[in-house]
Each structure stands twice: as structure tokens, then as C-alpha cells.
Amino acid sequence: MPPEIDTTVAHSARVWNYWLGGKENFGADAKAAADAASEANAIVAAKRKAEAAEAARKAAEKAKQDKENGTNPSQNEDEDKPWYWDWELWPEDIGSAKQWATVTGHWSTIAGGASVILGVGALCFPPAAPALLAAAGAVGLVSWGLQGASALLNGIADNWQGSDFHTALGMFAVGGIFLGKGALISKFGGLDDALRPVAEEVGSKISGVVGDAATTVVGWLTW
């Protein structure tokens, strides 16, 4: 062994030789390698402990936010939407004409269904017919107006083209066709002048119920 080599002091080259399984190293080199490995393990353990503590802190903070917001962390982003977004009764993006078109179409369907129920109720309960028919007519008109708004918004969103626009426009037209068509029954022969107003009123209400039923059924099928 050359006299200039001090085997009592570790050398980086011999430490690496020790780690690689070589034989060109001495006791001081082996001790230095073991100390370095022990220090590295301690650093790794401390890092993992810090990471675990940070993860626990973030989890606690997230749980607190979920509790304050009323959200369920077990659900994904789509599952955790408010029910009125799931049912498309209010737009997620209030600046989207397309979403507003869908929303107004759905509310038109709901209003049309309510109008049908009121109209059928008027036929089943004659004493309440005047009030129920008036309510059915008003709600049916609202439904028709909402369907018109849906058609307009679909036209804006689709540049006046596309199946959604054509469907909404068709439903709006169907509702409009039935509005006021009760007057046709008064043209039938065999009705004296005293019965004509009654026949026209009854025919108008029945045609209104039929129109609301038609647009409502289409609305539910295309929801």
C-alpha cells in the first residue's frame, strides 16, 4: 500500500467502491458509507412524515369546505351538481342561449302538464269548472309563451337551423294552432243561437286541453 494513502480517513471514491460492492475500500470508507445511508434514510423518513402531515391538513381543510358547501366528497363533479342542474330547470351557464332554450322548453312542458291537469279537473268537477278552466287557460298560455321563447333561443343558439330549433318551433306552432280553435264548433249546423256561446266555450276549453296535452307529451318525450 502506498504510504501516501491514509486508510483512517474515508475517501469518496472508496465510499462509492464500497456501495458498488467493490474491495478497494477500508473500514473508514465502510463507516462513512453506512453513516451516509443512515442520514439519507432519516431525510427520506422526515420528508414522508412532512408529506403525510400536509396531506392530512389538506384533507381536513377539504372536509371543512365540503361541509360548509353542502357537497358530498364521495360523488364526482357531475354527480354533485344541484338537482335543478341535473333536471335542467336552471342553466349552469346563464350566458348560454342553448341552455336557456332547454330550460324554457322544460318549464313549458311543466306548465303544459299543469294546464292539462287543471283542464281535466274542470271536466271532472263541474262546480269548480269556471275557476279551473280560467287557471288552465292562463297556465296554458304561459306554457305556449315559454315554448315560443325556447324556439327563439334555440334559433339564436343554432343560427336558425338544427333539429332542436325545428322541434321547438314545431311545438310552438302546435300550441298556437289549438289556441282559439273552439270557435270552430260554433259553425256546426243544428245549434241554435242560445247554445252557440256555450258550445264555443266548451269547445275552446277542450281544444286547449288537447293542445296542452299534445305539446306536453312531446315535451316529456324530448326532455
Q: What is the 3-state secondary structure (H, E, C) of 116-145?
A: HHHHHHHHHCHHHHHHHHHHHHHHHHHHHH
Residues 81-125: tens digit of each pLDDT: 788 888 889 998 889 999 999 999 889 889 888 888 888 888 888
CB-CB contact of 103 with 88 (8 Å): yes
| CA 197 vs CA 11, 133, 178, 187: distances in Å | 115, 16, 18, 11
Most confident of 108-122, 165-179, 193-207: 108-122
CB-CB contact of 139 with 114 (8 Å): yes
The stretch 152-159 carries a mean pLDDT of 88
Question: Which residue in the block uniquely carries the three cell numbers 351557464?
Answer: 93
CB-CB contact of 98 with 166 (8 Å): no
CB-CB contact of 29 with 11 (8 Å): yes
> What would the DSSP string read from start to end of 57-89?
HHHHHHHHHHHHHT--TTS-TTTTS-HHHHTTS
pLDDT at 209 over 90: no
What integer pLDDT is reported at residue 192 of this predicted model? Answer: 43
63 pLDDT band (50/70/90 cuts)? confident
147: cell is 315554448
